[in-house]
């Protein structure tokens, strides 16, 4: 099961609590840690990414920067997480180093199919349930839509939106490779 912690410093009460939470998640060994701080100025985002990358990472968590391949490369991050309408994955692959991880957020089946066709390493798909921590991209898609989406693509699909400890077995039974979440990890 793939686990992806998505950061949100506003919910955490600032940068310092976010860094502390990131340290706990790295120690716990989440698979991906997505630095999703869209409103930070470039220099502050780069500094935050470097701080997180400098934390002990005993289990080899891959740190991804949301939407900013330039910041990811400058910080030495393991990859980037793109919105579904971003630069095509196969075009980005031409300019990033081998092994650079590219994830894509998808809210529709066509976006998911495009991410798969272009060679994304994984996709986040949702909202499956009503999100607890951020504004939704529409009505929850539900488990049936998640299951249908997982059957249509080859790449690993992570469920997003309203994920709880109790919903994880249903998400996995629907065919998801794992989940991405904000609130679930903020302990």
pLDDT tens by residue, 72-122? 999 999 999 999 999 999 999 999 999 999 999 999 999 999 999 999 999
What is the number of structural domains in the chain? 1
- Please tell me the predicted confidence (pLDDT) of residue 134: 58
Q: Which ranges constitute the DSSP H helices of 15-141?
A: 15-28, 42-53, 69-75, 89-93, 109-118
State which residues of the chain have pLDDT below 70. Answer: 133-137
Quick one: DSSP state of residue 7? Answer: -
* Token code pair at residue 175: 């065919």
- Please tell me the predicted confidence (pLDDT) of residue 131: 80
- Please tell me the predicted confidence (pLDDT) of residue 136: 55
Cis peptide before 86 (omega within 30 of 0): no
Residue 60 · residue 33 · CB < 8 Å: no
- Please tell me the predicted confidence (pLDDT) of residue 167: 97
- Please tell me the predicted confidence (pLDDT) of residue 186: 84
- Please tell me the predicted confidence (pLDDT) of residue 162: 94
Q: Which ranges constitute the DSSP H helices of the chain?
A: 9-12, 15-28, 42-53, 69-75, 89-93, 109-118, 142-152, 168-173
Q: Which domain holds residue 6?
A: 2-185
Domain at 10, CATH number: 3.20.20.70
Residue 60 to residue 157: CA distance in whole angstroms: 21
* Token code pair at residue 157: 């699909």
Q: Give the CA distances from residue 150 to residues 29, 38, 46, 106, in Å, rounded to whole numbers and listed in that order.
A: 25, 28, 34, 12
Residue 24 to residue 66: CA distance in whole angstroms: 20
């Amino acid at each position: 099961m793939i686990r992806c912690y998505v950061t949100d410093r506003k919910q955490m009460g600032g940068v310092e609590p976010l860094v502390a939470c990131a340290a706990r998640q790295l120690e716990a060994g989440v698979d991906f840690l997505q630095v999703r701080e869209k409103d930070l100025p470039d220099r502050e985002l780069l500094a935050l990414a470097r701080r997180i990358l400098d934390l002990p990472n005993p289990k080899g968590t891959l740190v991804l920067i949301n939407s900013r391949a330039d910041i990811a490369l400058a910080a030495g991050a393991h990859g980037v997480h793109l919105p579904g309408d971003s630069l095509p994955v196969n075009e980005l692959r031409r300019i990033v180093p081998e092994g650079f991880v590219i994830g894509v957020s998808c809210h529709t089946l066509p976006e998911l199919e495009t991410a798969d066709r272009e060679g994304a390493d994984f996709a986040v798909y949702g909202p499956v349930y009503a999100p607890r921590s951020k504004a939704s991209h529409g009505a929850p898609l539900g488990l049936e839509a998640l299951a249908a989406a997982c059957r249509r693509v080859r790449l690993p699909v992570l469920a997003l939106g309203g994920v709880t400890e109790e919903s994880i077995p249903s998400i996995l039974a629907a065919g998801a490779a794992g989940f991405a979440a904000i609130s679930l990890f903020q302990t």
